[in-house]
Amino acid sequence: MFAFPSENMFGTHPYVIYEIVKNSNCKKYLELGVYDGDCINKISNIVDRAVGVDISDNRKYYNFDFFLKTTDDFFKDNIETFDIIFIDADHSFESVKKDFENALLILNKHGIIFLHDTDPIYEKFIEPGYCGDSYKMLEYIYINHPELDIINLPISQAGLTIINIKNNNRFKNFIK
């Protein structure tokens, strides 16, 4: 059995994502921007399929399917759908917006999208090397996607946003 490390060893946002993946019946997980693979590595132990995409290979772990390419190229070639998608690649608003719109197209029913870097704690974090201007995604989603529910968590230094489709509740499968 996998023992989850303390928050200090793993960080806050990966812990939140891990717990939601573990408790949501997620079978297929996609991570855009894997960095060193810490988050997806732990999640790969509890899902049937974990897929990571990044433009550089800094992985410390190799127990998930990895695509060394841009997210644009991944979406162009991809034919799969996923239950949970974590977007943490290029932190510019335009790139996050494009990744988000593409992710919506391959999200399974009852699926969840996570966006990282959407609530930076200090002004210095809105620089391109940190969170960039990905915080603009919150307003973009509110304006352009009224069909979505958004929860923005002011955790860690960068924040984490959880998105799913409104009224896409599992219990409705049982009501005739």
Domain assignment of residue 176, yes or no: no
d(CA 101, CA 88): 14
Domain assignment of residue 136, yes or no: yes
Least confident of 4-8, 36-40, 70-74: 4-8
Task: Give the CA distances from residue 141 to residues 96, 104, 118, 162, in Å, rounded to whole numbers and listed in that order.
Answer: 11, 12, 12, 12
Domain assignment of residue 2, yes or no: no
Exposure of 103 in the CB half-sphere (CA atoms within 13 A)? 27
Element (H, E) at 86: strand 82-87
The rounded Cα 98 to chain-centroid distance in angstroms is: 14
Least confident of 10-19, 24-33, 73-82: 10-19
d(CA 58, CA 35): 6
Number of domains in the chain: 1
Domain assignment of residue 173, yes or no: no
| pTM: predicted TM-score of the whole model, two decimal places | 0.91
pLDDT of the residue at 144: 98
The CATH number of the domain holding residue 86 is: 3.40.50.150
- What mean pLDDT comes out for the span 63-69? 96
- State the residue range of the domain holding 108: 7-168
pLDDT of the residue at 53: 98
Domain assignment of residue 175, yes or no: no
- What mean pLDDT comes out for the span 78-82? 98
* pLDDT, tens digit (0-9, with 9 covering 90-100), for 26-59: 999 999 999 999 999 999 999 999 999 999 999 9
Domain assignment of residue 68, yes or no: yes
Domain assignment of residue 111, yes or no: yes
Kindly indicate the confidence band of residue 136, based on its pLDDT and cuts at 50, 70 and 90. Answer: very high
Share of the chain above pLDDT 90, in %: 83
d(CA 157, CA 94): 21
